Amino acid sequence: MVKETFTDKLIKRFYGITGPLDEQKRQQVDRMGNKAFIVLFFTLLFGNCIAFLLSFKYPELVARVYPILLLIIIWVVGSILTYKFKMSAVNAIDEEELTEKEQKQLKHVGLKSGLYFGISMFLGMPLVQFLVDHKDYFTELFSIRNMLSGIFDAILFGAIMQGWVNARIKQAKSQTDKDDQ
């Protein structure tokens, strides 16, 4: 058995691929990733040129609008990429191809991701308040509002992630049932 390289692990994690990264999945990932890279590269190239030229006359407008436009463009490209992967079933979860370690990781993925997200929000939001409003970090950290917000964020995010993984498993099962018929 060939040991997975760090790059393969990153590719699998980024695109949500479970099981082995075989030649077909690698080709589809490379093809779609290259298309997304080309779109984003030229968007940044021309967008930066336009922003540079407009910044002399409208610096405040460029500072406010340009990051928002980039965020929207990146979100659209990411959504299209996610849709294409869903249609090609590259990242569908096939329980038969999973190792024991991957099956254990999928068992409570919502709980784990919710816990990590909740802790990061619990620690991160007072930092934002400290940097933006110059409020005391520890006072904001241990405030009731921050604690309740962290718990709510963890529960909501964990439930969404668990539902998403369950939907992917259900989709893979229906796809295999459809292929068997």
- Res 123: pLDDT: 92
Domain boundaries, the chain: 1-91, 95-181
- Res 98: pLDDT: 66
Distances (CA, A) of 90 to 15, 17, 23, 79, 98: 9, 7, 11, 15, 14
**Residues lower than pLDDT 50 in the chain:** none
pTM of the model: 0.59
Digit-coded pLDDT (tens) for 39-57 = 889 988 998 999 999 999 9
Q: How far apart, in whole angstroms, are the C-alpha atoms of residue 143 and residue 82?
A: 38
By C-alpha distance, which of 169, 29, 55 is closest to 177? 169
Helices (H) then strands (E): counts for the chain: 7, 0
Digit-coded pLDDT (tens) for 109-125 = 788 888 899 999 999 99
**What is the 8-class DSSP label of residue 19?**
S
